[in-house]
Amino acid sequence: MRKHIFNAGPCKLSDSLLKNTAEAILDLNGIGQSILEVSHRGKDFQAVMDETVELMKEVLSIPTGYSVLFLGGGASMQFAMIPYNFLKTKAFYVNTGTWSKKALKEAKLWGEVVEVSSEDKNYTYYPKGYDIPNDVDYVHITTNNTIRGTEIFEDLSVNAPLIADFSSDFLSRPVDVSKYAMIYGGAQKNLGPAGVTFVIIKDSLLEKVVADRKIPTMLQYGTHIDGGSMFNTPPVVNIFAVRETLKWVKSMGGVVAMEKIAKERAELLYNAIDSSNMFESPVVKEDRSRMNIVFVMKDKYKEKEADFIAFAGEKNCVGLKGHRSVGGFRASTYNASTMEDVQALVNAMKDFEAKNA
Ligand SMILES: *Cc1c(COP(=O)(O)O)cnc(C)c1O
């Protein structure tokens, strides 16, 4: 039996991805070779890459004038590549927690960083209604705070190129891509296995590359646009698996359907948390993530947290331990997560409370 997997990343992936990727590892398209054994420049893999890029454009309704790239290095490499390429004097960062902070740290190597932050309240809300200086090279946001469980559901209009780390809520709602100069993320939360990074970049952003800076070839976006994500050998299996996710999302009804299911899953779990006498959510209601549902035990039950993790495990609910920097619990309910998964967790919470409260 498949467990109810609530891991934050790597995380639950669709059954069709697992099955079809396993088959391609044994024999790609019945050609008598594994996908691990073909040339990435041969026609069989080129077809996989082309279809993956086309499906990304289709599923996310990406307008013309954008390139879709699959790179190495994770979202963490993007934290460095973005300022390396685009930060001339000043950038604006919205700091919503651990990941934004890591992005911000890299930016400070290259220029001044103006920051708005929710650190004052332990990152339990998403900053809104701030002013952005007129002279920034770009604005950087993290749309979903994977660790603290906050999320922004709106595509902002700002007066500078908007760059967004969408690692943990990618494809969970329709996005107006035209509002962004760049969208990026590690694949391992909503898109596929760890080891590939997606980058959707507006081609005109390349005009903003800092002119007099010497940037290593591999760290220039232009290199990868020109090379069709094959300047060097791409992670072929990961890209194949990403294609399977995109096909699956499309077959399920696309990002509109993903958003509907995400809302249903989150509502079921947040309602259970809010109506409980044992559990509570530290996050302000309007900013609660649909992807990473963070909750804790009320003070008088705190010492029972480990017991609940064990109890939920017996009910096949795994991956619930909160991030080591926060404690408590985190149920990550990404696209492949089902209502059955969430219902199993809600049942475990109710049973545990009935026995222990
Ligand atoms: C997981 C995560 C990252 C880090 O991704 P890597 O691919 O491991 O570098 C960055 N940003 C967010 C929002 C994440 O959830």
Q: Is 165 known to be catalytic?
A: yes
Kindly give the residue spans of alpha helices, DSSP state H, lying in 62-163.
74-86, 98-107
Query: How many whole angstroms from 76 Cα to the centroid of ligand 1?
Result: 6
pLDDT band for position 319 (50/70/90)?
Answer: very high
Residues in contact with 194: Cβ distance below 8 Å, sequence separation at least 6, in sequence order: 9, 10, 74, 186, 187, 188, 238
Q: What is the pLDDT of residues 115-145, one digit of tens each?
A: 999 999 999 999 999 999 999 999 999 999 9
CATH topology of domain 4-10+254-356: Aspartate Aminotransferase, domain 1 (3.90.1150)
- State the burial class of residue 22 (Cβ atoms within 10 Å of its Cβ: 0-12, 13-18, 19+): exposed
Question: Of 12, 57, 165, 287, which is the active-site residue?
Answer: 165
15-251 shares the fold of 4-10+254-356: no
Q: What is the pLDDT of residues 201-242, one digit of tens each?
A: 999 999 999 999 999 999 999 999 999 999 999 999 999 999
Pocket of ligand 1 (CB under 6 A): 9, 74-76, 99, 142, 146, 165, 167-168, 186, 189
pLDDT of residue 189: 96
pLDDT of residue 170: 98
Nearest C-alpha to atom 14 of ligand 1 is from which residue?
167
> Taking 90 as the threshold, does the pLDDT of residue 325 lie above it?
no
Specify the amino acid at residue 315.
Answer: K
> Taking 90 as the threshold, does the pLDDT of residue 324 lie above it?
no
Q: Measured from the CA of 168, which atom of ligand 1 is nearest?
A: 15
Q: Measured from the CA of 76, which atom of ligand 1 is nearest?
A: 9
Q: What is the pLDDT of residues 185-196, one digit of tens each?
A: 999 999 999 999
Nearest C-alpha to atom 7 of ligand 1 is from which residue?
74
Distance of alpha carbon 29 from alpha carbon 108, whole angstroms: 47
The CATH classification of domain 15-251, taken from the options 3.30.460.80, 3.40.640.10, 3.40.80.10, 1.10.1060.10: 3.40.640.10
Test site for ligand 1: of 70, 168, 188, most ligand atoms within 8 A of the Cβ:
168
Query: How many whole angstroms from 77 Cα to the centroid of ligand 1?
Result: 10
Counted residue by residue, the chain has a size of 357
* Sequence spans of domains, the chain: 4-10+254-356, 15-251
pLDDT band for position 357 (50/70/90)?
Answer: confident
Query: How many whole angstroms from 70 Cα to the centroid of ligand 1?
Result: 15
pLDDT-above-70 percentage for the chain: 100
